[in-house]
Amino acid sequence: MSSAREAPMNWSGGVAPLGMSWQKLMMWIFIVTDGLLFAGFLASYGFARTGARSWPNQQEVFHLWFISLMTFVLISSSATMATAVAAARVADWKKVGNMVLATVGGGVSFLAMQAYEWGGLIRDGVTLGSNPWNVPAFGNFFFLITGFHGTHVLIGAIVLATLATRVRAGKTTAAGVELAGLYWHFVDLVWVFVFTLFYLI
Partner 1 sequence: MQHQATAETVVHEKQSFLRRYVFSTDHKTIGIQYYLTGGLMGVLGAFLAGLIRLQLTWPTTQWNFLAKIFPSGMEGGFMKPEFYISLVTMHGTIMIFFFVSLVLVSGFGNYLIPLQVGARDMAFPFLNMLSYWTIVPAILIAAASFFVEGGAAGSGWTAYPPLSAVPSAAPGSGLGQTLWLLAVALFIVSFTMGGLNYVTTVVNLRAKGMSMMRMPLTVWSLLIASIIGLLAFPALTAAAIMLLFDRHLGTSFYLPAGLFIAGKLLPNEGGSPLLWQHLFWFLGHPEVYVLILPALGITFDVLVPFARRPAFGYRMTVYCLMAIAFLSMVVWGHHMFVSGMNPLVGEFFSIGTLLITIPSTIIGVNMIASLWGGKLRLTSAALFAIGTISFFGMGGFGGLFLGNAAADIQLHDTAFVVGHFHFMIGGVTMLAIFSGSYYWFPKMFGRKLSELLGKLHFWMTIVPFYGIFATMHFYGLAGAPRRYYNLSQYAFLEGVRWMPMVITVFAFTMMAGQILFLVNLARSLWNGEKAESNPWESTTLEWSALSPPPHGNWGEKEPVVYRGAYEYGNPDAKEDFVPQTVPT
Partner 2 sequence: MESHESQSYGALWKIWGVLLALTAIMVFVDAMGLPRILLLVVLISAMLTKAFFISSQFMDLKHEKLVVGVCVAFSLLFFGAILFALIVPDGVAVLHGGR
Site map (CB under 8 A) of partner 1, residues 43-62, x = contact: -x--xx--xx----------
CB of 11 to partner 1, least distance (A): 5
List phi, psi (to 5°) of 156.
Answer: -60, -40
| Binding residue count for partner 1, defined by CB under 8 A | 42
Rounded-to-integer distance, Cα 187 and Cα 190, Å: 5
Residue type, 163: L
Q: Taking a C-beta distance cutoff of 8 angstroms, is the pair 126, 117 a contact?
A: no
Q: Taking a C-beta distance cutoff of 8 angstroms, is the pair 39, 190 a contact?
A: no
**Residue 168: which of partner 2, partner 1, none does it interact with, CB under 5 to 8 A by kind?**
none
Of 56, 61, 78, 145, which one interacts with partner 2 (CB under 8 A)?
78
Q: Name, in order, each residue with C-beta under 8 angstroms of 194's C-beta and a sequence gap of 6 or more.
A: 38, 42, 145, 146, 149
Helix axes 174-194, 93-123, angle to 10 degrees: 30
Q: Which helix (H) or strand (E) holds 184?
A: helix 174-194
> Rule CB under 8 A: is residue 119 a binding residue for partner 2?
no
**Residue 34: which of partner 2, partner 1, none does it interact with, CB under 5 to 8 A by kind?**
partner 1
38 or 142, CB closer to partner 2? 38
Helices (H) and strands (E) in the chain, counts: 6, 0
53 or 123, CB closer to partner 1? 53
> Rule CB under 8 A: is residue 35 a binding residue for partner 2?
yes
| Binding region for partner 2 (CB under 8 A) | 16, 18-21, 28, 31-32, 35-36, 39-40, 42-43, 46-53, 59, 64-65, 68, 71-72, 75-76, 78-79, 81-83, 85-86, 89-90, 175, 178, 181-182, 185-186, 188-189, 192-193, 195-197, 200-201
